[in-house]
Structures are given as C-alpha cells and as structure tokens.
C-alpha cells in the first residue's frame, strides 16, 4: 500500500537531483487580518486538501496567487514564505495580481468560461474577450515566475494544477523544452460538442498539449479530451499509447483519480478532542443527542447540487412525516466566488429553500435545517463528519469530490453512511455508498429514508469496504503513479 515512506523512496530513486515545482492558482495557506492581527487559514477545496500533504513530503516549491489580505505582510521580497506556517517543510512563492487581473483571469475566463463549460450543469459560459487577455497575461506571469527559479543546468519537474493554467505549459516549454511538465485537470472534461463553443478552444488545447503528461480523474474524461483534440486541432491521437502527438511532441493522456491522506485524516478524526468539538457544535446549533444528523459541507457552488439536495430533503419530510423532529440537516461550507452574479443568486436560492423548509416543518425547538456559517477548522470539520449519521454529497457533476473521501477516512468508528451523487468521479470507487441522481427528488427522498433506516450492522459492513477503497487508493498512490508515468517517458 502506498504511504509517505514509499513516496519519499520514489522521489529519491527518480527525482533525486530534480527541482520539484508545484504550480496552482490556489495557495495552501492564506494570511488574513482578523481583529487587527495577522493569522492564517487553509483555503477549502480539493487542490489544497490533496496537495498540501504531498508537498510536505516532496519539500519543493509551490507557486500560487497570493490572495490573502495579509499575505504581503509576512512574505519576503522574493515573494517567498516557508509553510506550513507552524511547522515549515516547503516553500510557497506568491504571485501578486491586481483586481483587474484577478477579475479577468480568475473570475472571468477561469470561472465564467472554463468552469461552466467543463461541468455541463446548464450554466451558460460568458465569453468576454477582455477576460481572455488577462487569462493569457496571468498564465505568462506564472510561467515567468517559475522560469526564474530554474537555472540553465537545473533539471526540473513542474506539476501544474487545474483549469486556471491551461496556457502555462506552452509558455514554459517555449523557453525550456527540456523541463518535464505534468498537469492535473481537477474538473471534468466535457464532450467535444460542449467544448467547441469556446472561442479560444484551440489555444486552450494547444497550451495543454505542451505538457508531457496530461491527466484527469476518470477514463471517460480522457476519452472526451482525446475526442475534442481529434475534432478541433491538427494532431495525431494515438489510441494505443493513449497520447497525442503534435508538432513532434507527445503528450501522454492518463486518468489518475485523486484522493486524500487516508491515514492522517483517520488518525486526527479519532483524537479525543474531536468528541469535545462534536459536543460544542451540537450545543451551539441546538441539536439534540437523539437526533439523526445529515451532514453537508462544500464551497457554495452551483455544481454541488445544494438546492437539489434540500429539495430532496423537503420531499423526504413531506413524504415521511414520522421523521419530523427526529432528523436534522446540517449544512456547512464557505461562500465562494461571490464576485460572480450566478454565485450570489445561488446563495439567495439556498437561503430561500431553507427558509421554506424551516417555516413549513419547524416544531417547538426543532428546526429541520441548520445552516452553519462559521468558518470551521479542520478539526471541527472532522467533528461534523463524525457526528453525521449520514453525509450527503449531491454534486450535479464533479471531477472527483474529495469531501466524500474525507468523510469515509474520518469514520474510523466504521459507522455512518454516505449518500453520493452518481455524477461524481468518486462514485466509481465508493460503490458502497447510497448512490443518487440529485435531479430526482423522489430518489433523493428515498435515499434519506434508506440512510435513516440502515442498521448499524449494515452501516459497518459498507463503511469497512468504503474505507478499504480510500485507504488503498490514497493520495500517495495518486502522486506516485503520476511521477512514475512521467519519469518513464
Ligand atoms: O474542483 C475544482 C477546483 O478548482 C479545485 O481544484 C479547487 O480546490 C476548487 O475547485 C476550489 O476552487 P477555488 O480555488 O476557486 O476556490
């Protein structure tokens, strides 16, 4: 089974004198001002939760956008700071963007074009030529910041994350064709008919094909990517090698499902302190010990199916009145990308459905839905997982969904059940979950009922299998496979 030690050994064997550079839009630690004092938080989301443990082992350099309001106060003139702040083991290099750049590159092209385009959840992408200009310029800035770190005779491995940096590989390879670059695409890849409407589709594909290795979560997304390349640009798709050859450069295309640090989560979530935090969370939100809790946690994003989940829960309460007063749905998670109108609308919609459910069904002290707006610490998140009789992940489309895997990793007590959308990458591995189509409110209502009725014995039988799957396919296996694929080229 893959673990930290095996990854360390692999790095020794294959990348000994090689600079390891991670490049992502999102930084692993963000410094902020709270009550006039500088403190730090760990941003939520798959990139950080999966890659921070990896970097703690690889000990390289992470290059990212410094978006914290106190980042500059603690960062050196070279943009660098040692992290994790309490126990440093690698270096973070921050890139500064002004509001116009962040608007065009991050909110604009990345999140109003590529995000809806790739998720296909019926949100229309907004193509704005100005945003594209900023996307190009910021990708070039990231490339320059990384190139600065690689001396002429250095051997380097650059590991790029996600859809914010599709042009980065091309900009780096133009200057340094010798460095090896791999990119992981954390979101789905749509079919060619969906992707081809992007006015810059060709440029995006050409940027990505400068990688030596391009990898996504699941085979279906690999197939979509190869079909898109085959239909939209000149290049040879080699189905035998699963690669694309363009201008005599080959890009291997692979699927490597991302995961979490199973052992670390399992151990931290079992610490006695978690019990205290569970008690505190319940007390603060007025949840009785005899109530069954359904948990939900995510960035408030329209791809996560939060309104659909609440509608399914409302149907469950309507259809099965015997559960009123006995169950609670506890939703936590950070507001996200609120600079974008669609996200503001989503938050209003969520508020309004919660208000409707609570107005219709509350009785005495009991409220069927609790919305927790607190910024939860990692340990409080584990407490939420542990106190949830059942956890609900209802994404309308998701590359993987690591919250589902984190929930499983945290349940060392082998209790609890997982209601999971079939439209997540993780549904392919977490087959012992209760799988649902979040758009189908009847099926959602039945899933809530099934979770409520599941015997402790059945919960444990399923949870054991779920845990075995996440423990075997952990984050060290993911990065180990990517490094092995790359170094075997
Ligand atoms: O799931 C896609 C993704 O980009 C993740 O890779 C990331 O963790 C998450 O969305 C968070 O997005 P943002 O960085 O915009 O908050």
Tens-place pLDDT, residues 53-71: 999 999 999 999 999 999 9
Q: Which of 22, 24, 25, 26 to mutate to test the pocket of ligand 1 (most atoms within 8 A of CB)?
A: 26
What is the residue whose two structure tokens read 């193509």?
A: 127
pLDDT classification of 488: cutoffs 50, 70, 90: confident
Other beta carbons less than 10 A from residue 69's beta carbon: 12
The CATH code that applies to domain 262-471 is 3.40.50.2000
CA of 229 to the centre of ligand 1 (A): 24
Of 380, 377, 424, which is closest to residue 404 (Cα–Cα)? 424
Res 44: pLDDT: 86
Strand 292-297 and strand 390-393: the pairing is parallel
Mean pLDDT of 185-210: 98
* Mean pLDDT score of the chain: 97
Which class in CATH covers the domain with range 4-259+475-487?
alpha beta
Mean pLDDT of 112-132: 98
Q: What is the pLDDT of residues 426-443, one digit of tens each?
A: 999 999 999 999 999 999
CA of 26 to the centre of ligand 1 (A): 8
CA of 194 to the centre of ligand 1 (A): 21
DSSP state letter for 436: E
Q: What is the model's pTM?
A: 0.97
Atom of ligand 1 nearest to the CA of 399: 1
351, 102, 40, 158: CA torsion to nearest 10: 120
Mean pLDDT of 311-340: 97
Mean pLDDT of 159-177: 98
Mean pLDDT of 181-204: 98
Q: Which of 186, 216, 260, 404 to mutate to test the pocket of ligand 1 (most atoms within 8 A of CB)?
A: 186
Q: What is the DSSP code string of 111-127? A: IIIIHHHHH-SS-----
Atom of ligand 1 nearest to the CA of 43: 16
Query: 222 is written with which tokens?
Result: 């690999």
Q: Show the CA angle centred on residue 48, arms to residues 154 and 417, nearest 5°.
A: 140
Query: 288 is written with which tokens?
Result: 């009785």
Atom of ligand 1 nearest to the CA of 46: 8
Atom of ligand 1 nearest to the CA of 398: 1
Partnered with residue 63 across adjacent β-strands are 23, 93
Q: HSE, CB side, 13 Å, CA atoms: give it for residue 410.
A: 26
The contacts found for 448-455 with CB under 8 angstroms, 24 or more apart, are 448/294, 448/312, 448/313, 448/316, 448/327, 448/390, 448/419, 449/316, 449/319, 449/320, 449/323, 451/294, 451/389, 451/390, 451/417, 451/419, 452/292, 452/323, 452/327, 452/389, 452/390, 454/417
Atom of ligand 1 nearest to the CA of 336: 16
Res 89: pLDDT: 97
**Start-end of CATH 3.40.50.2000 domains in the chain:** 4-259+475-487, 262-471
Res 46: pLDDT: 87
Query: 132 is written with which tokens?
Result: 């594209």
CA of 192 to the centre of ligand 1 (A): 23
Atom of ligand 1 nearest to the CA of 45: 8
Instruction: Identify the weakest region by mean pLDDT among 10-19, 96-105, 164-173.
Output: 10-19
Percent of the chain residues topping a pLDDT of 90: 98
Beta-carbon contacts of residue 390 (< 8 Å; ≥ 6 apart): 292, 293, 294, 295, 416, 417, 418, 419, 448, 451, 452
CA of 472 to the centre of ligand 1 (A): 24
Query: 332 is written with which tokens?
Result: 């936590």
Atom of ligand 1 nearest to the CA of 110: 15
Beta-carbon contacts of residue 244 (< 8 Å; ≥ 6 apart): 209, 226, 229, 235, 236, 237, 238, 250, 251, 253
User: Could you give the CA distance from residue 103 to residue 373 in angstroms, rounded to a whole number?
Assistant: 25
Q: What is the pLDDT of residues 88-102, one digit of tens each?
A: 999 999 999 999 999
CA of 336 to the centre of ligand 1 (A): 10
Q: Which of 22, 29, 46, 221 to mutate to test the pocket of ligand 1 (most atoms within 8 A of CB)?
A: 46
DSSP state letter for 303: G
Nearest CA to ligand 1 atom 9: 45
Angstrom distances, CA of residue 421 to CA of 132, 233, 443, 444: 33, 34, 11, 10
Can you say how many angstroms the Cα of residue 16 is from the centroid of all Cα atoms in its chain? 29
Res 45: pLDDT: 87
CA of 16 to the centre of ligand 1 (A): 30
Atom of ligand 1 nearest to the CA of 111: 15
E strand spans, 121-205 = 155-161, 180-184
For residue 311, the surrounding DSSP H or E stretch is helix 306-319
Q: What is the pLDDT of residues 244-298, one digit of tens each?
A: 999 999 999 999 999 999 999 999 999 999 999 999 999 999 999 999 999 999 9
Res 207: pLDDT: 98
Mean pLDDT of 75-99: 97
Q: 3-state DSSP call for residue 45?
A: coil
Q: Which of 162, 338, 395 to mutate to test the pocket of ligand 1 (most atoms within 8 A of CB)?
A: 162
Residues framing ligand 1 (Cβ under 6 A): 26, 45-47, 162, 186-187, 299, 336, 399
CA of 163 to the centre of ligand 1 (A): 9
CA of 46 to the centre of ligand 1 (A): 6
Nearest CA to ligand 1 atom 11: 45
User: Could you give the CA distance from residue 339 to residue 291 in angstroms, rounded to a whole number?
Assistant: 37
Do the Cβ atoms of 208 and 233 come closer than 8 Å?
no
CA of 115 to the centre of ligand 1 (A): 10
E strand spans, 217-367 = 236-238, 243-246, 249-255, 292-297, 327-332
Q: Show the CA angle centred on residue 70, arms to residues 68 and 74, nearest 5°.
A: 115
**Residue 246 burial by Cβ neighbours in a 10 Å radius (0-12, 13-18, 19+):** middle
């Amino acid at each position: 089974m893959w673990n930290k030690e095996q990854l360390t050994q692999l790095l020794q064997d294959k990348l000994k004198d090689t600079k390891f550079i991670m490049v992502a839009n999102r930084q692993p630690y963000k410094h902020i001002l709270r009550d006039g004092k500088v403190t730090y938080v760990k941003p939520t989301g798959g990139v950080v939760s999966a890659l921070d443990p990896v970097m703690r082992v690889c000990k390289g350099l992470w290059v990212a956008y410094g978006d914290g309001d106190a980042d500059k106060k603690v960062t050196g003139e070279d943009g660098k700071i040692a992290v994790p702040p309490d126990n440093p083991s690698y270096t973070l290099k921050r890139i500064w963007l002004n509001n116009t750049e962040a608007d065009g590159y991050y909110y604009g092209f990345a999140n109003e074009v590529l995000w809806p385009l790739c998720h296909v959840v019926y949100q229309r992408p907004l193509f704005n030529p100005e945003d594209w200009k900023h996307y190009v310029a910021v990708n070039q800035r990231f490339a320059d910041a990384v190139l600065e770190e690689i001396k002429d005779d250095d051997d380097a491995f650059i590991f790029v994350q996600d859809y914010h940096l599709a042009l980065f590989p091309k900009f780096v390879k133009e200057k340094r064709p010798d460095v090896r670059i791999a990119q992981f695409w954390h979101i789905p890849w749509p079919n060619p008919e969906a992707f081809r409407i992007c006015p810059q589709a060709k440029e995006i594909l050409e940027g990505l094909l400068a990688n030596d290795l391009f990898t996504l979560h699941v085979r279906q997304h690999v197939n979509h990517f190869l079909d898109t390349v085959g239909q939209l640009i000149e290049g040879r798709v080699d189905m035998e090698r699963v690669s694309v050859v363009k201008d005599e450069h080959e890009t291997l295309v692979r699927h490597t499902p991302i995961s979490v640090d199973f052992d670390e989560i399992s151990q931290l979530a079992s610490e006695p302190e978690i019990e205290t935090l569970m008690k505190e969370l319940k007390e603060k939100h007025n949840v009785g010990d005899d109530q069954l809790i359904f948990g939900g946690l995510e960035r408030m994003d329209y791809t996560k199916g939060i309104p659909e989940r609440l509608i399914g829960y409302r149907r469950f309460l309507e259809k099965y009145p015997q559960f009123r007063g006995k169950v609670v749905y506890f939703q936590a998670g950070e507001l996200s990308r609120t600079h974008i109108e669609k996200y503001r609308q989503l938050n209003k919609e969520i508020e309004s459905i919660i208000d409707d459910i609570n107005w219709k069904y509350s009785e005495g002290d009991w409220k069927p839905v609790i919305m927790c707006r607190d910024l939860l610490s990692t340990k409080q998140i584990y407490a939420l997982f542990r106190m949830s009789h059942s956890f609900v992940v209802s994404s309308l489309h998701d590359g993987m969904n690591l919250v589902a895997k984190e929930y499983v990793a945290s349940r060392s007590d082998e209790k609890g059940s997982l209601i999971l959308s079939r439209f997540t990458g993780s549904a392919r591995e977490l087959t012992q979950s209760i799988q649902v189509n979040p758009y189908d409110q009847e099926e959602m209502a039945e899933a809530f009922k099934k979770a409520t009725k599941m015997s402790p014995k059945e919960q444990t039988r399923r949870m054991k299998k779920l845990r075995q799957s996440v423990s075997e396919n952990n984050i060290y296996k993911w990065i180990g496979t990517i490094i092995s694929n790359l170094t075997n080229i």
